[in-house]
Structure 1
């Protein structure tokens, strides 16, 4: 079977447009997830009476929900309570909610892995709790968290494909349109998606290995 027409410049450009949307959604979600997940992780680590437990319960509930359900909620349920988001921002909101919960557990585990003596040593030198966290505990914890964080971010990029259900014009959505017009293009489009997802995720995995190697060099 001749697949050359499937890989015409028009189709490749359409796929690249979808890949760009995938990357845009991923980057915005990563930034929000990193900030929110970090804050949640710190709140759970500090064990603020009642508040930390409530945040922990909500986080555990989100972590055990299917991402697809959260996407449906962001796009179909939020408008019912007056919150109307575009397809792009619905996808970002859903991914941010889900990934923040996942990253918060990584942050919490990383902070718990730092010996308690580090916190005590910082406080004994006259630093405040916040200063000790920011300058002593968190930097040590973050080094050990890098591989897990990058792995989770790779999962986030792959999870953007689930937003095809709300017609986000990302890579999978655009590939689906192409092979929907010609059933002979199914295999070429799956090969193209495999290639693009692999390249992006593999580059991130290389970044993880590089950062991990730098960690052991210090």
Structure 2
């Protein structure tokens, strides 16, 4: 009974509401970051694939630099360093900006690799049939590459959702932040709070993985 006592104390309606409020912030930050990083990463990945003189090499350097930096450092930079040069952002905006920058670089590499996986003869065939380079990319290369890109892209989205927890270092009021407030009241609350937070993350991430599987099946 002593073992169950912390669970009965923690699992109250108020605490659940508080955790759900934090999880709402987590999902909001993740959703906005996913959308922005997909758009930006898709553009960068496509430009790198196109091998435009000067532009593509510069983007390659930028992507490699960002991919090899810790996300935590980028979050610190967005919230603490940028104000020093006159760019101030509130906590949620700083978290979204940092996640978007980092995930855009990761997605750009996934998209570039996916496009490169399509045989070069496909481009030549498209151009020979009278299509422009953009039309060939849009109607022939991208649809085929998308099938191969779906699993790693969704995996990256799942990682992004989990990575939002790193923004706790700048006091983003997300799920982890609110969970810490609850279990800080008493050391015995750590296990029950961590269990419920783990379940929340698992449900959403598992749902994303199921969506990815369905998309893969539709593409086959």
- TM-score category, normalised to shorter length: over 0.9
Q: Compare 135-144 and 19-28 and name the one that shifted more.
A: 135-144
Q: Compare 72-81 and 117-126 and name the one that shifted more.
A: 117-126
Q: TM-score normalised to the size of structure 1? A: 0.97
Question: Quick one: which of 2, 18, 21 aligns to 1:17?
Answer: 21
Question: Quick one: which of 194, 200, 204 aligns to 1:196?
Answer: 200
1:172 correspondence with 2:176: yes
Structure 1 residues not aligned, in runs of 5+? none
| Distance in structure 2 (CA, Å) of the matches to 1:93 and 1:195 | 27
Q: TM-score normalised to the size of structure 2? A: 0.96
**What SS does the aligned partner of 1:181 have?**
coil
| Distance in structure 2 (CA, Å) of the matches to 1:129 and 1:172 | 47
How many residues are matched?
216
Q: Compare 150-159 and 132-141 and name the one that shifted more.
A: 132-141
1:76 correspondence with 2:80: yes
| Distance in structure 1 (CA, Å) of the matches to 2:39 and 2:214 | 23
**What SS does the aligned partner of 1:65 have?**
coil
| Distance in structure 2 (CA, Å) of the matches to 1:130 and 1:53 | 20
Q: Post-superposition shift, 1:184?
A: 2.1
**What SS does the aligned partner of 1:74 have?**
helix
| Distance in structure 1 (CA, Å) of the matches to 2:143 and 2:85 | 40
| Distance in structure 2 (CA, Å) of the matches to 1:190 and 1:49 | 50
Q: Post-superposition shift, 1:183?
A: 2.1
What does residue range 30-179 of structure 1 map to in structure 2 within 5 Å?
30-179=34-183
**What SS does the aligned partner of 2:113 have?**
helix
Structure 2 residues not aligned, in runs of 5+? none
